[in-house]
């Protein structure tokens, strides 16, 4: 409770100090009707609200603070940056930043996406809104762009998506970056890499790779990401591996944007999984193979207010029961 009160006090102080800066925000909530997890009758959930404070301290020196809240009055700081922008070719950000891994992690808020659920490769292979504390350098030279970062890195947990940390668990620093190239108007290809030791003993490496492709032209959009992960385990265990991808296509039809997506995740890790504790005994292991087809539509009531409808067909290896779901979402930004 003390943490929530502290975050709320920080929110009020930042808001009061930003009267002469710029304030933006967003809000969303979901409705889920599924065949498992006690939601066969449907329920409202996943309330998200956020405020983004930004401004100019002096020429070429800017700041950005983003605070995100959800259910049960819990607040998190998504970004807290001091930005030095001497040139579009070389910019430096200091503080808490969104990690430039693929395209999705940097634009995953409800008002920024066509789908409601996270793609499987995003859901299982790294934390939602993956952030880090450290230094981020980025720039653009005509059609070529780069991002390089050094931060605390990810920690060891029972599953890859639970590795978010803000206090470093070892002496190693996580490092990585993303490079991208615009091949033509609306067509961009990018490659991301991350590497760092993730265990408390500072001995075992984790590596993540991502190849992304975006084509956005005349209201038609294709977005795809292919991600791979490798985790070194203790000597008595084989290394953990995960790979996944998603392909998403949408097009404009007046105020409607129909969207379709196929997603897949393969995740094998004999050392982690349910019951894993660091430091402590190994987990029960992870063996996951899942496919998902998504069909949905986005309706723009106004430019900044949208409604989404999505139906997901999930297929899990070894599970003969259906696990499909219907979701609705309302999102707005200001």
Q: CA–CA separation, 329 vs 327, rounded Å?
A: 7
Rg (Cα) of the chain, in Å, rounded?
Answer: 20
> CA torsion angle for 136, 175, 146, 228 (degrees, to 10)?
-130
Q: CA–CA separation, 64 vs 136, rounded Å?
A: 14
The answer to whether 327 and 30 are in contact (CB under 8 A) is yes
Tokens at residue 103, please? 């395209």
Q: CA–CA separation, 96 vs 255, rounded Å?
A: 36
More confident residue, 36 or 171: 171
Lowest mean pLDDT among 58-67, 72-81, 106-115, 205-214: 72-81
Q: CA–CA separation, 214 vs 246, rounded Å?
A: 12
Query: Residue 280: what pLDDT?
Result: 76
Q: Per-residue confidence at 5, pLDDT binned at 50, 70, 90?
A: low
121: left (phi over 0), alpha (psi -120 to 50) or beta: alpha
Question: What is the pLDDT averaged over residues 116-136?
Answer: 97
Lowest mean pLDDT among 34-38, 58-62, 88-92, 185-189: 34-38
pLDDT for residue 8 is more than 70: no
Question: What is the pLDDT averaged over residues 36-53?
Answer: 80
195-251 per-position pLDDT tens digit: 999 999 999 999 999 999 999 998 899 999 999 999 999 999 999 999 999 999 999
Query: Which of the following CATH numbers is that of domain 99-333: 3.20.19.10, 2.40.160.10, 3.10.580.10, 3.40.50.1000?
Result: 2.40.160.10
Domain extent listing, the chain? 99-333
Query: Residue 265: what pLDDT?
Result: 98
Q: CA–CA separation, 30 vs 20, rounded Å?
A: 34
pLDDT for residue 17 is more than 70: no
Query: Residue 24: what pLDDT?
Result: 94
């Amino acid at each position: 409770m003390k943490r929530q009160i502290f975050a709320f006090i920080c929110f009020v102080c930042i808001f009061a100090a930003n009267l002469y800066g710029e304030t933006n925000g967003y809000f969303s909530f979901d409705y889920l009707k599924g065949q498992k997890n006690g939601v066969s009758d449907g329920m409202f959930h996943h309330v998200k609200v956020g405020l983004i404070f930004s401004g100019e301290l002096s020429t070429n020196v800017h700041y950005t603070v983003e605070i995100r809240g959800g259910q049960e009055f819990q607040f998190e700081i998504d970004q807290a940056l001091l930005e030095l922008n001497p040139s579009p070719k070389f910019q430096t950000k200091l503080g808490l930043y969104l990690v430039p891994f693929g395209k999705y992690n940097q634009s995953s808020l409800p008002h920024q996406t066509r789908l409601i659920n996270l793609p499987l490769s995003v859901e299982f292979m790294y934390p939602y809104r993956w952030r880090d504390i450290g230094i981020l350098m980025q720039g653009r030279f005509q059609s070529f762009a780069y991002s390089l970062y050094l931060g605390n890195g990810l920690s060891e947990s029972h599953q890859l998506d639970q590795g978010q940390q803000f206090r470093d668990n070892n002496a190693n620093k996580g490092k990585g970056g993303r490079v991208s190239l615009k091949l033509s108007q609306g067509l961009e290809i990018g490659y991301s890499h991350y590497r760092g030791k993730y265990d408390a003993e500072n001995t075992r490496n984790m590596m993540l790779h991502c190849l992304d492709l975006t084509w956005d032209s005349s209201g038609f959009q294709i977005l795809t990401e292919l991600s791979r992960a490798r985790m070194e385990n203790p000597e008595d265990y084989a290394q953990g591996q995960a790979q996944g991808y998603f392909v998403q296509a949408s097009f404009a039809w007046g105020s409607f944007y129909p969207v379709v997506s196929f997603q897949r995740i393969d995740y094998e890790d004999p050392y982690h999984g349910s019951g894993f504790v660091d430091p402590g005994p190994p987990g029960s292991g992870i063996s996951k193979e899942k496919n998902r087809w998504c069909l949905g539509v986005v309706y723009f009531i106004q430019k900044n207010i949208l409604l989404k409808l999505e139906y997901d067909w999930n297929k899990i290896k070894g599970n003969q029961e259906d696990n499909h779901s219907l979701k609705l979402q309302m999102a707005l930004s200001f």
